[in-house]
Amino acid sequence: MNEKLDKVYNLILGVILISLGIFMILYSQKFPKFISLGKILPGPSFFPTIIGSLFIILGGYLVTESLIILSKLSKNEKATKNFNFSKIVNDATFQNFFIFIFLSIIYLIIINYIGFYISTFLYSFILMKRLKVKNITAIISSILIIFLIWAIFYKIAFIPLPIGSLFRR
């Protein structure tokens, strides 16, 4: 790909990241609050809010940088005949990104029903299989991701992870 096409691609990804970040923050506000001894502590919405904020910041950077470079390139080019939208859509990286977006939205929805452990395993396993990781590596990595998140948020930060309405008594 040429530099202009790369920047158009980054611009699109930046807008999508910002949109996803806003969606994650707004959707996570529906999660239940964690109250202990009368104090409101970081609950299940903490992690998606942090990730959503990072998406907005990184997306904003991509959009700003792309617009600056595209404006410089447009001044240097007389014609923009080399732009081909089908090249962007058929690019494997672009397709992987949209699959990531789709699975992230599905993950946010199903985590309330089947809980953190199963939904996180499925989410990471499916993403790794899309990236052509071997089955055993995908399974072990997914389990390690779950363990790492559980240790950081549940054991160290005392933030409860969603159990899921399917498994509540």
Judge whether 116 and 162 are in contact, CB under 8 Å. Answer: yes
Q: What is the pLDDT of residues 121-145, one digit of tens each?
A: 999 999 899 888 999 999 999 999 9
Domain boundaries, the chain: 1-90, 108-169
How far is the C-alpha of 29 from the C-alpha of 33, rounded, in Å?
9
Q: What predicted TM-score, i.e. pTM, was given to this entire model?
A: 0.56
2 pLDDT exceeds 70?
no
pLDDT in tens, 24-52: 899 888 877 777 777 777 777 787 888 88
Six-digit token string for 83: 């732009």
List C-alpha distances in Å: 89 to 4, 101, 127: 15, 15, 19
